[in-house]
Amino acid sequence: MFIKSSAAALITLTVSLFLVIPVQAEQAPDSLFSERPKVGIAFSGGGAKGFAHIGVLKVLEEINMPIDYITGTSMGALVGGLYSIGYSPEFMQDLVLNLNWEELFSDEIRRRYMPMEEKYWDGQFLITLPFKSGQLRLPAGLVAGQHISMLFANLTWDFQHIRDYDQLPIPFACIATDLESGEAHVMRSGTLSESIRASISIPTIFTPVRIDGRMVVDGGVVRNLPVTDAYNMGADFVIGINVTEGLKMADSLRSIFDIMDQTIRFMMFDSVNEEAVKAGILINPDVGRFHILDFDKAQEIINIGEAAARNSYDQLKSLADSLNSMSAYTRRPVIQPEINNEVAISGINVVGLDYYSETQLRNELRIEIGSMADRTVITNAIERLFSLQYFHQITYDLSPSENGYQLNIKAVEREQSTFRFGFKYDNYTNATLLFNSTYKNLVTSSSTLRLTASLGLEPILDAQLIRYLGTGNSVGFQGRLNYELKKITLFNDQGERISSFDNNSTYAELLFFPVASSSVRIGGGIRGELYSASSAIGFLDLDQSWSNLNMLTAMIWYDNLNRTFFPVNGHSIMADVYRSVAFGRDAPVFLRADFKWRSYYSLSENVVLTNRGQIGFITGNNVPVHHQFFMAGDRSFFGLQRYEVNGTEIKWIQAGLRYEFIENIFVHPLFNIGNTQSLTDLNYAGQTYHWGWGLSFGMQTMIAPVQFIFSGSDRHNLQVGFSIGVLF
């Protein structure tokens, strides 16, 4: 029952009288209370609509409202939890206005920490599904919440050691829903960041959280306005802040977000009504026109919350003055988020590992027992582990020990097998489907097996096995078997097509890389290749029988681009050299060296300077056509057609400016110049060059990048290109 004792009704009545009859300090009803009545604040859930709580808190602070207990559900748990440990409404306002919510509500891996072999595949797939025992499985939620969990852990850094929420500056409780029993799970102890994360786990959007031995989701399912819980904590009077709206009419349900919002309202409607009548004062911000995902409208929602509190200003101010007249209320100290205290790491405890080696995890963590670490060091270490893609989620907390703090790592491992699907379309190859199956630790521990099929005009079949050696991902080897069909068209010096043919090639290679990290890989190995030309059209004398090449290879790959699509900063450099080894009288003998780079420099918030180029040469004889260099149209050199210019030497450079004139929508003018003439002839000024220009309009959508490309050159006045997805 929500009434704490038989005196509670009298308390409520007395407080209500304070709102009507002016009372002098010396007339405070000490006969009724031996001490000031305790005030609780109950914050409801409501997704982005919960930003209104911040506006209400501004007014409550302005009138110096005593707050003795805080309860919250979902977004109310986040706002209430942060306020309970000392964050000001102003800080929370700045936080929600400046957070990248799209990134936060994704499990996107920070590319800078991603292993090099994963960078190649980054962004190529639209769908990833786990499978086990030969059956595909749907995930428990769309988002595991890695970035959210890390944000909460960092925000609660100074209170990691407190496990009893009654010991926080303001005692706090938050609500989740037990999936097994369907009952409310009230969290008043544990790890604060984990409890808040559990309370905001909107079903199907976020994966459930295991906490206190239970599987829980968003508390709004059973108790979205936790007034009862504030009374249970010890409050004599509760102010409820409710951003839950009633059910919408059918004709107003126009989008998927409307349907989602209405479905959630069904689950919480009766409970909210029951709790609302128990509040001594109920504030209802008018946020009905907003959706639970309107995170980009934070300022407007905060303002509405403040306006709602000001509508009850006289009532709230009279209550605050009356309570303060009984006993002066001392505001708790405001937390200083810029302080990043170091702690001594006295031990490391890891839970949740079934497949991944704990020794490897500790090695990748790079935090030694006995060392000092702050939240930046620990956050970077956790992100580095998450980037390995062995975990759905990996989080941390700190527990006090005799010699400092124990670092507790909690891992939720990914399924060992996944199926992935991708799609792309462009002018050259039309539609192409990409299928991939990835198996972790199937062949041996610390191994990854990938089977890939690219089905389209130029099909590719590929199998890769990567195996790391030792306790870290710094040394390893790769075995690969690949088949590829390329439709190559050759042109004369006037840019006219003279022939075309299909080039079939199959190769097997074994590479050893003694240096491998998240930004560089250096390696070398051997490759054997079989190739043939078929379906030749035009004036081309090609041997259509199968030929073979045996090669020694070496490569250096450096990549620290901040993202795969439309990067803002960083460099990608690929240098590879291979030499064919003759095992037959007519076998081609040649050496091929190639150096490519891409660089991006942020000039302002929306302007990026782009630069790319290539230098390469081939020495030897009988070089197969598909091993020659091509200035390949808008995949590299804008203004030419694919395969239009080829040769055994190449040099070209490109520069441009990319401008993001609307969020995720870009315009990119650029210019390039180069040729396939001699590198050793230093009279470059006397050589003939091809030049070209491009104007690209790009958009980063939720599904895949889209680009429209206009280009021209010394050979073509205007060409138009279009692509969706990654050019794999």
Of 15-29, 305-319, 683-697, the poorest mean pLDDT is in 15-29
Residue whose token pair is 């963590």: 365
Please, what CATH class does the domain formed by 422-725 belong to? mainly beta
Is the confidence at residue 14, as pLDDT, over 60? no
CB burial string 76-99: b at 16+ within 10 A, e below: bbbbbbbbbbbbbbebbbebbeee
pLDDT, one tens digit per residue, over 567-579 is: 999 999 999 999 9
Give residue 557's pLDDT band: very low, low, confident or very high (50, 70, 90): very high
Bridge partners of 430?
Answer: 426
12: left (phi over 0), alpha (psi -120 to 50) or beta: alpha
Residue whose token pair is 């090695």: 363
Rounded distance between C-alpha atoms, residue 2 and residue 80, angstroms = 20
pLDDT, one tens digit per residue, over 584-613 is: 666 788 999 999 999 999 999 999 999 999
DSSP β-ladder status, 447-455 and 404-413: unpaired
Give residue 497's pLDDT band: very low, low, confident or very high (50, 70, 90): confident
pLDDT, one tens digit per residue, over 258-273 is: 676 666 666 677 788 8
pLDDT of residue 102: 82
Residue 460 · residue 484 · CB < 8 Å: yes
The CA–CA distances, whole Å, from 590 to 356, 412, 502, 583 equal 43, 50, 22, 13
- For 670-674, what is the mean pLDDT? 95
Residue 397: phi and psi, rounded to 5, are -150, 170
Global model pTM greater than 0.85: no
- 10-14-15 Cα angle (round to 5): 120
Same fold for the domain at 39-107+160-326 and the one at 343-413?
no
Q: Of 150, 85, 110, 145, which Cα lies nearest the Cα of 337?
A: 85
Rounded distance between C-alpha atoms, residue 573 and residue 612, angstroms = 10
Is the confidence at residue 293, as pLDDT, over 60? yes
Indicate the helix (H) or strand (E) that contains 11: helix 8-18
Question: Is the sign of the CA dihedral 281, 286, 290, 296 positive or negative?
Answer: negative
Quote the tokens at residue 470.
């030792």
The CA–CA distances, whole Å, from 525 to 47, 113, 624, 645 equal 54, 26, 21, 30
- For 684-689, what is the mean pLDDT? 86
CATH architecture of 343-413: Roll (3.10)
Angle between helices 75-84 and 52-62 (to 10 degrees): 30
Quote the tokens at residue 147.
């970035």
> Hey, is 702 helix, strand or coil?
coil
Residue 267 · residue 281 · CB < 8 Å: no
The mean of the pLDDT values for the chain is: 86
Quote the tokens at residue 617.
């040469």
pLDDT of residue 22: 35
**What DSSP character marks residue 82?**
H
Alpha-helical runs (H) found in 166-218: 192-199
Give residue 508's pLDDT band: very low, low, confident or very high (50, 70, 90): very high
Residue 423 · residue 701 · CB < 8 Å: no
Show me where the domains of the chain are located. 39-107+160-326, 343-413, 422-725
- For 608-635, what is the mean pLDDT? 89
DSSP β-ladder status, 343-351 and 705-713: unpaired
Q: Of 493, 495, 488, which Cα lies nearest the Cα of 677?
A: 493
- 39-107+160-326: CATH topology is Cytosolic phospholipase A2 catalytic domain (3.40.1090)
**What DSSP character marks residue 295?**
G
Is the confidence at residue 23, as pLDDT, over 50? no
Q: Which residues contact 61 (CB under 8 A, 6 or more apart)?
A: 88, 89, 331
Rounded distance between C-alpha atoms, residue 529 and residue 483, angstroms = 10
Residue 50 · residue 75 · CB < 8 Å: yes
Rounded distance between C-alpha atoms, residue 505 and residue 469, angstroms = 30
Residue 63 · residue 308 · CB < 8 Å: no
211: left (phi over 0), alpha (psi -120 to 50) or beta: beta
Question: What is the four-CA torsion angle of 437, 728, 563, 642, rounded to 10 degrees?
Answer: 180
Give residue 614's pLDDT band: very low, low, confident or very high (50, 70, 90): very high
